[in-house]
Structure 1
Amino acid sequence: MSEQVPQQTPSAPAPDASSGEFRGRVEKLLGDILGLMGFPARLDMKDAADGSLSVALHFEPTPPPGVEVGRRSQVVDSLQFLLNKMLHRPGTERRWVMLGAGSHPEPRQRREPQAAPAQAAAPAAPTQAAPRAAAPAQAAAPAQAKGAQRGAQASAAKAAPAPKAASEGDERSVAVDEDAALKAAVRQLAEKSAGLGRFYAIAAMKLEDRARVLTSVEGVGGVKVTAEGEGRNRRVVFTPDKPAPLPKRSMLPDDDEDDFDA
């Protein structure tokens, strides 16, 4: 007795090996994700009309919070986004997967290209009233010219640069009272910078305090003290004439070093 082979209709072609493998990957990933979430579900898969794979999630016993049967939710949308990101890797079959809670989701609708905007209407032909309106327009021309001239003068006055305030780079020209404690401290720091060959900087100081520092270090040899930067980042920098390298113990080791010197 010969075995009869059922005929397949053109509307429902038999899934090939790659489609079965893709469904297996979807089932495995969804099962793992839902299991980690603590909300297992029975999966009902079918091929959608647009070529995607539709999956209905039948949660057992109850769906996660915020998920309603037959309605879209942020939880299901996020799960769908994560699943497609994990499936669409280089070298693998790119097929979109759509998820629905308790039922199959509606197929995606393709966006139709928007029609080009309608062209602007052509200007109307001049009528007989145009010559009559020409005379008032010509009479108003001198007044408009005067108004435009006044507007230009006002704009030039606004664009003129305002008088500059005292520049932050004029610390040495600022007259300030001497601060004995500050003078002793900064001179000691300047001598230390010159003796050890180290760079130092003092930040977050007002203009007057930077002026006191620059005045106090005058006469200290082996170091150059300047004000650098702008705005709140302006600082007083001590630069030694003979910089000295840091000791090896003070430097961070390279990435390929396994241990430190004792």
Structure 2
Amino acid sequence: MSGPQGTQVAGGADFRPRVERLLTDILGLMGFPARLDLQDAADGSLSVALHFESGPPQGVEAGKRSQVLDSLQFLLNKMLHRPGVERRWVMLGAGGHPEPRPRREAAQAQASAPVATVAQVAAAAPAPPARTAPAPAAPPARAARGAQPAAQTPKAAAAQQVAAKGAETDERSVQCEEDAVLREAVRKLAEKSASLGRFYAFAAMKTEDRARVLRAVEGVGGVKVAAEGEGRNRRVVFTPAKPAPMPKRSMLPDDDEDDIDA
């Protein structure tokens, strides 16, 4: 299909087969094959429900957003939306179709709504009553020598708890039971990172699992393993001492390669 100005339309007859083929290939390379359910969304996008055949990847739950699905959705749309092609967004959901995005027309109408200026607001507001000069405040009473400090208010205590939660926990100081299977798999990955010069990372892990990973790689040479990031973006990164470039045959096709449309 072509648009009025000769540009190719992303929602043509071959759009769904391309989405299905690319998703099937990517999920197969990830080791998590899935049954795909495609349907047109109300906002004009293409909604895809991923029903994983042998269980979802780590950190992916049915009906919830995750970093894995967000990254996969970003990669898929980058591969589909080439220059000169009218864009049609693809939304992914685990175990079901994702929630529809807010309509662009409503967002544009809200953005273009008239905004009152400061002068208009000041003119419409009633005149404030006359104020009398406040009485001078009494000087604060000095605390008696040896007196106990005042008890902390609940609001101050809650703010202190929020600040304490914001600080990231040092995983190496977390006490947890050892997982023999996880330890063996992590050490093999660390040795592989050191021998091949590849970067690897574990995302969407609990604090206890990150602590197990950091303890498991102790003693493995040629690679540095550390926890990086904050909050839900915190991950464990494997950095080899001697990085090596990836061979071209193992890289995903670029946006401008012709084999995407083949």
Fold-level similarity (TM above 0.5): no
Q: Give the alignment's TM-score, normalised by structure 1.
A: 0.38
Point out the structure with max Rg over C-alpha: 1
Higher relative contact order (CA 8 A, sep 6+): 2
